[in-house]
Amino acid sequence: MNKTATQINQMASNPLAHARALTLPSRESMLQRAPSAKHFWDSNSQLLSAAWKAWEDQEEAPSITLGTYLLDVKLRAAVEQAWQDPTQEIAVKELWEEVSPDVYLAQFFDPQRLAELRHYLNAVAEAGIPIRPPYGIALNRHGTMLDPRSKGYLAAPAFQHFYRELMNQYMRPIARLLFPQIVGYDSQTFGFSIQYQTGMDTSLQPHTDASAATLNINLNLPGEHFTGSEVDFYDRQKGTANRLTFKPGTAMLHLGSVPHAAQPITSGTRSNMVLWLYGERMQTPLTGPQTDPLEAHQRWTIPTVELDQFAPF
């Protein structure tokens, strides 16, 4: 049904209230990616963006300034140094341990600061504004699309500023440093949050990602324990799997082409933020020998191409 001019004016004057009054598509329609679910997110896109801005402007959002101070102090210092002098980028590389072929592990967030980020994300979940969970991965109130290319994403301006910092200042140059073959396939971004809960969407079957590189960051707090939910990364040469476990604030950075699977969670919850890089129109590099076409100062740059509208899901 077409909206009247009066209805449009009312939504513009109070987008937060109108967004909260919307009726979400059913769980089944979202899981099945039904046309009605797509229509809901498409038709309410502008309203939802305005509602998230109003959520901040009306001071309903937590009084937290999201920023890189949340990151591990060693990683933050090394990255800041590399942006000032790219020839010092080896200090960044030394913080990442290769724990399986083309899979690296490092402390990403400061575990003692994670409570601030989690408090913010919990407030997002309680805001009453419809937000789209990642299809086919987890469908609970803590699963959230993060990138503007995804309809129903977390459009709060403060979060989007933080998200862009993570992608541009950290993920892309680090991925270029560890995986030279992704250069040229790293201009586009994608992200979502996910929470594995006992008895719900608890595991992922073996798969590869539609990304050039994937950064999977654990958001569990110190003392927030879980069992199970390990991630298996498959070593194609040896024909074996390396089973890895997240600790609070740690991140695994890997090529999207590396097969991996999540084991069932048996107790507690595991909260993660997953970020992807890929090329225009979702292009990813072919597998092959690693070459490095860039000098150090070229890795520490931000692409100038526009973001396209292609999203994996």
In eight-state DSSP terms, residue 301 is -
- 271-298 average pLDDT score: 85
Distance CA 272, CA 196 (A): 8
Tokens of residue 18, six digits: 């109108």
Q: Is the pLDDT of residue 188 over 80?
A: yes
Q: What does the block give as tokens for 276?
A: 């992807």
Torsion of CA 87, 89, 91, 92, to 10 degrees: 170
With bands split at pLDDT 50, 70 and 90, how would you rate the model's confidence at 310? confident
CB 155 within 8 A of CB 48: yes
The residue that leads in pLDDT, 70 or 292, is: 70
Please tell me the predicted confidence (pLDDT) of residue 1: 47
Assign 9 a pLDDT band (cuts: 50, 70, 90). low
Structure tokens at 126: 């309680």
Domains (range + CATH), the chain: 1-60 (no CATH), 64-299 (2.60.120.620)
Decide if pLDDT at 298 tops 90.
Answer: yes
* pLDDT > 90? residue 187: yes
Q: Give the chain's mean pLDDT.
A: 90
Residue type at 234 in one-letter notation: Y
CA within 13 Å, CB half, 264: 4
Where on the phi/psi map is residue 89: left (φ > 0), alpha (ψ -120 to 50), or beta? alpha
Alpha helix stretches (DSSP H) within the chain: 5-13, 15-20, 27-31, 35-43, 45-57, 73-84, 90-93, 114-125, 157-165, 172-178, 296-299
State pLDDT tens for residues 227-265: 999 999 999 889 899 999 999 999 999 999 999 998 889
Query: Cβ of 9: how many Cβ atoms within 10 Å?
Result: 11
Q: Which amino acid is at 28?
A: E
Using the structure block, give the residue that is written with the tokens 């979060």.
Answer: 159
Q: Let me know: does 164 contact 204? Beta carbons within 8 Å.
A: no
**Tokens representing 51?**
């509602």
168 DSSP assignment: I
pLDDT by residue (tens digit) across 100-138? Answer: 999 999 999 999 999 999 999 999 999 999 999 887 554
pTM: 0.92
Task: Give the H or E element holding residue 97.
Answer: strand 97-100
CB under 8 Å to 302, separation ≥6 — which residues?
168, 172
Res. 71: pLDDT tops 70: yes
What count of other Cβ atoms lies within 10 Å of the Cβ of residue 226? 19
Max mean pLDDT range (9-18, 25-34, 77-86, 140-149): 77-86
